[in-house]
Chains A and B, each alone.
Chain A
Amino acid sequence: MNPTYHAISLSMLCIALVLSSCSKQDSVLDQFEDKLVIDATLEVGKTISDIHAHSLLGMGNEEDISNLEIVISNCSHSVVLTEDPKNKGHYYGPEDFVISPLMEYSIKTNYKDAEITASSTSPPEMEALQTSKEFIEADIQGDLVFLTWSALNTGSFKEYFYIVELVPLDEDAEMIMRFSGSEQKSTVVSFNPELTLSIDDFNFYGDHLIKVYAMSNTYEHLFTPQTNITDNGPTNIDGAYGYFIASSVIETTLEIR
């Protein structure tokens, strides 16, 4: 074989071998900045008890985000939230900053050089029209649970919908067996001031805290399962994911037997 061509053949082989050594494994996630998620629900008449800041879930690198300067403002005041020293990534407001009805609140923070903002207007306070009535009336008949809060000022809530949260209170409650879902709490959406629940809507037997939140209709899409997987999940926060919702809330307790 001609030495020149022999050299060419060997050179080709060497080039290919060198190229093969360049095939390092790229970490795809390194190409993208971490995304912040904020879970924030404000409740009329209450202080800010828990705003949770964390990274996206599901990829095995979830973490709570500490040391954020989170500012909550309304038209006249601004407060900086304090991080719970025992619960990293969870922030609370000062005792004297109580959420007022029908007021616009905004949240502002910075994370990795990005400004994160959101705003939400609080609903009216949920008030009983007849002082003799319970805020939430609950009636259990067989496997059905009838809830109603129509005795409140629900006429002021025509542009709102309701989220009913069923939170078990017993530490070692017996689980209600069913096909899907084993979360501690369960959530049901209602567009009327009443709701009929099945026993299957509760995950456990025993005492439950039933909370009814009134929220603006503009947040309805945040309670709708994602059907189009080509879209990113819905959020009302600019620069981050999650939700920032001001709500009115009433609550009662109920024992499921």
Chain B
Amino acid sequence: GGEEDENLVLWDGFTLYHLDHFFGVFSTLNPAVIQDINLMNGPFSSRYGARSGGVLEVNGRSGNKLHPRTLIDADLIDVGLLTEGPIGEKTSYLVSFRRSHTDFIRTGFYDELLDRLFSQSVSADPESLVNEEVESDYFYDDLNIKLSHEIGEKDRLSFSLFNGGDSFERNSLYTYETQGSPFQYNDIFDDDSEWGNTGLGLTWTRNASPDKQLYTSLGYSKYSSRYEFSDTQRDFFNGIPIPEKTMTDIDENSVEDITFHHQQTHSMKSNGTLEFGYQFTLLDVENRFLENSSSNNSEVQADTSNVSIQNSLYAERRLAYGENWKLRLGGRLSTNSFNEKLYFEPRLRVDHMISPQWNLHFATGYYIQQIRRVAEQNLFLRQSDRWALSDGDSIPISKSFHSSFGLSWSSSPLTISAEVFYKDLKGVILNQEQNRLLSAFTAENEGISSGDGMVAGLDLLTTYAKGSHSAWLAYSYSFSANSLEDVNDGEEFPSAFNKPHDLKLVYNYRMRDYTVHSQLTASSGYPFTPLLGFFEGPGGDTFLVYGDDLSGRLPSQFRWDMSVSRSFTYKSSTLSLGLGVFNLTDHQNIKNRTYSINQVRDEAPEELKISTIDLELIGISPTFSISLDFR
């Protein structure tokens, strides 16, 4: 029910700031290199800090220590190569590289994705548009490298590298000719957008003794996005060229994160364990914006760099009372160089086993977050988010108080759990320009409002696993209410990411060499701010009229994906062929909605029309995959 940036994403000791390719369609996390994923969406342990929502901890897989292995796979979007194996007796390696072939091979699947995302991003064509030529090139890639080395029996050293990025170029030429006019207008738009995340992590774990474990990591992460746009107006009067005008915009955002983390876990003679540690984080957030116009020789420039050093100490005591009660009590003390305040974040969790089948838990905690992601206008062809450090003024530090209470029942092969949660939020931010009129760039922190909020809800989960069948059904209900003094007259409104109802059903069936996978999701649509229309002032100026912020709700979402794969094994090699269909019912799933006003250069205001721009997610799309696994 909170915002996406409130979740900490850790990969082998470093933080990831961007998790998807192709504007949210694919994940940057390659499942072939993941050992395990630990998702903590409720009040989490004192071990983790810097975020006020949840934690997604991903541990990369170490290379095979026994024999080399190579995996080659391809589908209608990308190709991948994974190789792993031992280096001597104590070291292993794993290298995996994926790259989309979308800039070499234009499959129907890719074209479908592109059409859904961008075709509606262009406002309705005016009558004077006589020619339109659009070309685009897009690709993504990601690289994972992991080296693991055992030093003696107690120590283990690992190095992990992640690099994932996207690149999009779009060149378009629009030609306008108004009837009876000797003018011909040519607009040449060039969009060049790149974004991605690089991470490096060095981790040392030591089992010093049966009662003492040490963990030390040094991580570096850099997220960057760069968007360059130019509009060249190359016009003609009776066939004679008019001096060219060019407008260029450059927008850059980057985050550099250097984190050192040391943790010790001691088994206590009296009872349970004591875990404590220290974490140092240096954050450098840069925003650069440049607008250059040759028509009036104007230049607008903004260049900011904010650095914050955060030091944290934490401790957590884990105790067991009898066989049925467990207690986790801890706290985190942190300070940052930005405002030099000291923060204390207490954490508590109690688990009680009522019977071998029935368990309940209660957890609560206080969380703070300094780095925020500000959602901006969703200009197509660029990342619509910008990371920023809380300045205590226009962007406050996010503070939240979580509580959750859960009950679960488990009897193989079925598990059913229910959890109610409540979050009290301080420092909620909203960029009012988000989801409004699609226009040029906005100045940093302009339009950002802050206030308080709350999220409450219920999570239900049923899992089933037996023999060839496994399935899980999850349902979440969440209620979100934010209140910002200068938004909607202080009236409550939902978070921009709130979906009151969210249901997911996953079913897997494995039978000999066949695997069937079905995944079905149904949810409420996201909130959006409606544009109701415009009126003209007495001087003919156009004035827009909006509904209340986030008072509209996009249509409900539904998606059903199915796939079947068949494996063929020959000696130690395996060939897998897969067929699948995304969005089987071809339901129109709208990710977000913005607006544009037709602003062709010779259009009169009374002819202006507002165009609704819906960014749609994938429609019905068949896909095919092949993989070769050599051992």
A89 CA / B466 CA spacing, docked (Å):
71
Whether B534 pairs with A56 at a CB distance below 8 angstroms is yes
Whether A222 pairs with B538 at a CB distance below 8 angstroms is yes
A58 within 8 A of B: yes
Whether B535 pairs with A56 at a CB distance below 8 angstroms is yes
Whether A29 pairs with B530 at a CB distance below 8 angstroms is yes
Within 8 A of B (CB), among A180-212: 180-183, 186-187, 189
Cβ contacts B132-154/A at 8 Å (1 or 0 each): 00000000000000000000000
Q: A22-B556, A35-B533, A181-B604 are in contact. Are A229 and B437 (CB under 8 A)?
A: yes
Whether A226 pairs with B544 at a CB distance below 8 angstroms is yes
Chain B interfacial residues counted at CB < 8 A: 67
Cβ contacts A85-103/B at 8 Å (1 or 0 each): 0000000000000000000
Q: A8-B464, A180-B601 are in contact. Are A57 and B535 (CB under 8 A)?
A: yes
What chain B residues lie within 8 Å of A35 (beta carbons)?
532-533, 545
Query: Which of A72-80, A104-112, A125-133, A239-247 lies on the face that meets chain B?
Result: A239-247
A58 CA / B542 CA spacing, docked (Å):
10
A226 CA / B414 CA spacing, docked (Å):
59
Cβ contacts A2-44/B at 8 Å (1 or 0 each): 1001001100110110011011111011011001010101000
Rounded to whole Å, the gap between the CB of B393 and the closest CB of chain A is 18
Cβ contacts B585-628/A at 8 Å (1 or 0 each): 10100000000010001111110111000000000000000000
Query: Which of A134-142, A145-153, A230-238 lies on the face that meets chain B?
Result: A230-238
Whether B538 pairs with A1 at a CB distance below 8 angstroms is no
Q: What band does the interface of chain A fall in when counting residues whose beta carbon is under 8 Å from B?
A: 35 or more
Q: A9-B471, A163-B538, A183-B604 are in contact. Are A20 and B585 (CB under 8 A)?
A: yes
B458 within 8 A of A: no
B282 within 8 A of A: no
Whether B534 pairs with A24 at a CB distance below 8 angstroms is no
What chain A residues lie within 8 Å of B88 (beta carbons)?
none
Q: A25-B555, A183-B604, A226-B544 are in contact. Are A20 and B587 (CB under 8 A)?
A: yes
The chain A residue with its CB closest to the CB of B466 is A5
The chain A residue with its CB closest to the CB of B598 is A58
Rounded to whole Å, the gap between the CB of A243 and the closest CB of chain B is 5
A55 within 8 A of B: yes
Which one, B467, B534, B540, contacts A183 given CB within 8 A?
B540
Whether A230 pairs with B436 at a CB distance below 8 angstroms is yes
A23 CA / B609 CA spacing, docked (Å):
28
Whether A59 pairs with B601 at a CB distance below 8 angstroms is no
Whether B535 pairs with A13 at a CB distance below 8 angstroms is no
- Since A9-B507, A180-B602, A241-B545 are in contact, a sample of 11 more A-B pairs with Cβ atoms closer than 8 Å, ordered by chain A residue number, is A12-B471, A13-B505, A19-B522, A20-B587, A24-B555, A31-B547, A35-B532, A35-B533, A182-B604, A229-B544, A233-B542
Chain B interfacial positions (CB closer than 8 Å to A): 178, 180-183, 237, 413-414, 432-433, 436-437, 439, 447, 462, 464, 466-467, 469, 471, 473, 503, 505, 507, 520, 522, 525, 528, 530-547, 551-558, 560, 585, 587, 597, 601-606, 608-610
Chain A interfacial positions (CB closer than 8 Å to B): 1-2, 5, 8-9, 12-13, 15-16, 19-20, 22-26, 28-29, 31-32, 35, 37, 39, 41, 55-60, 62, 163, 175, 177, 179-183, 186-187, 189, 219, 222-226, 228-230, 232-235, 241-243, 245
